[in-house]
Structure 1
Amino acid sequence: MATVLGPQKLGPLTPLVGEWEGNVGVDLSYHNKDDEATETGYFERASFKPIPVVENGHQVMEGLNYSMTAWRHGEEAMDPFHDEVGYLLWDKKNGQVIRCFAVPRGLSILAGGDAGARDRTLTFTATPGSDTYGLSQNKYLMERARATEYESVFTINDDGTFGYTSDLVLALAATGETMHHTDRNTLHLVKRYHPSVEFG
């Protein structure tokens, strides 16, 4: 029997609403102390909460505010090594998904891409200097680990899990080379929001 779906005001963002956890994260990044790129496993918590309708003149968007926090395996009781906050937006009329977020390294990204209302794979891209989907970074990063390209893919899997990959291309002053700082994880839903449940 076919599943009957509701109106999905949030479009392709609808399945993300709730709180998620994943313990199979892998971060590939450059470690200055060791002068090499290495992989690190991590545990992650993420939350996606609906926000009021966004109106920019004739543009109307639905959206979520979100946070993603990650701890290295073995350091779950300590400070996280990654903390990210931002918004996911759905522009139905123009068929666009938008991800705007910041991380406390002095880096902010506005990424986006084309999407249909019931797409289960969402691709967000950003390029420095773009008038639309770009990124901004502090002076230290510009001089030592300049970001030159960004792409992230969200996937809603058939088993109900949520997976993502991200790829931030960096020009490293220490090596004179370009590297791909990548992250990937698969998370499962641990709390579904419902009208009878209040959340801040």
Structure 2
Amino acid sequence: MTRDLRMTKVTGPQKLGPLTPLVGEWEGDVGVDLSYHNKDDITGETTYFEKAWFKPIPVQENGRQELWGLHYGMTAWRHGEEAMDPFHDELGFLLWDKTNCEVMRTVVFGRGIAILAGSSAKLGDKVLTFDAKPGAPHYGILQNKYLLERAEIRDFKSTFTINDDGTFSYTSDLLLKLAATGEEMHHTDKNTLRRVKRYHPSVEHA
């Protein structure tokens, strides 16, 4: 008897661990950025449209450590400016250390900021957390001299959530010490994206 593959959910290898569901290209139109606007000297919200991609990379071997992961990019445009230059762009890697049950996010922003963030995670987790602090010996933060003097990053927290409906959501929170006000503020971003392209054949289509 021949099995009907359309009735069988094929999940494939899980070498990417909890990063597996992210592979592909995504779009989201409900982004909200809360930040300090230097030119206007106010804190305000910006809504945005975003594109993201996540592509598998070769296994990375650091001695006995094996890291499986994704090269990724995320680009955002303010609503009404989709045909213009984006206001945000980032590139990085998401990494999975199966043996030590850790996920990592290495990311660089065009503003001159580099972050290596991470936390514990296991296969099947649908909520991934990435934390970093300046000066930490492993999960830390670097920023250019001007930004360090004007908007010092004191903490970074981010979550990626795989939703039951097949979408993916993220939140990002940068705790900043602003020279202009002398106070701390949370610069936050959040969005929900849907997959618009898969990179490999599947019985489930985007």
TM range (shorter): over 0.9
Matched, 1:18 2:24: yes
* Alignment root-mean-square deviation, CA: 1.5
Identity %: 70
Deviations 1:55-98 (A, max 9, x none): 00000010000000000000000000000000000000000000
Cα distance in 2 for partners of 1:71, 1:5 equals 33
Partner of 1:142: 148
Deviation at 1:33, TM superposition (A): 1.3
Cα distance in 2 for partners of 1:140, 1:33 equals 16
Deviations 1:145-167 (A, max 9, x none): 00000000000000000000000
Cα distance in 2 for partners of 1:121, 1:89 equals 15
User: Pick from 159, 174, 189: which aligns with 1:153?
Assistant: 159
Q: How does 1:26-65 map to 2 (within 5 A)?
A: 26-65=32-71
Aligned partner of residue 176 in structure 1, secondary structure = coil
User: Pick from 89, 94, 98: which aligns with 2:100?
Assistant: 94
Deviations 1:32-55 (A, max 9, x none): 111111000000000000000000
Considering only CA atoms, is the larger Rg found in Structure 1 or Structure 2? 2
Deviation at 1:5, TM superposition (A): 4.0
User: Pick from 58, 69, 80: which aligns with 1:74?
Assistant: 80
Task: Name the stretch that deviates more: 4-13 or 127-136.
Answer: 4-13
Deviations 1:91-134 (A, max 9, x none): 00000000001001110000000001110000000000000000
Structure 1 residue runs of 4+, over 2 Å off? 1-7
Cα distance in 2 for partners of 1:174, 1:138 equals 17
Cα distance in 1 for partners of 2:170, 2:12 equals 25
Give the total of aligned pairs. 196
User: Pick from 186, 189, 198: which aligns with 2:192?
Assistant: 186
The letter for the 1-side match of 2:149 is: E
Partner of 2:168: 162
When normalised by structure 2's length, the TM-score is 0.92
Cα distance in 1 for partners of 2:69, 2:191 equals 22
The letter for the 2-side match of 1:72 is: R
The letter for the 2-side match of 1:36 is: I
1:83/1:75 CA distance change after superposition, 3 Å: same
Cα distance in 2 for partners of 1:7, 1:118 equals 13
Stretches of structure 1 lacking an aligned partner (at least 5 in a row): none
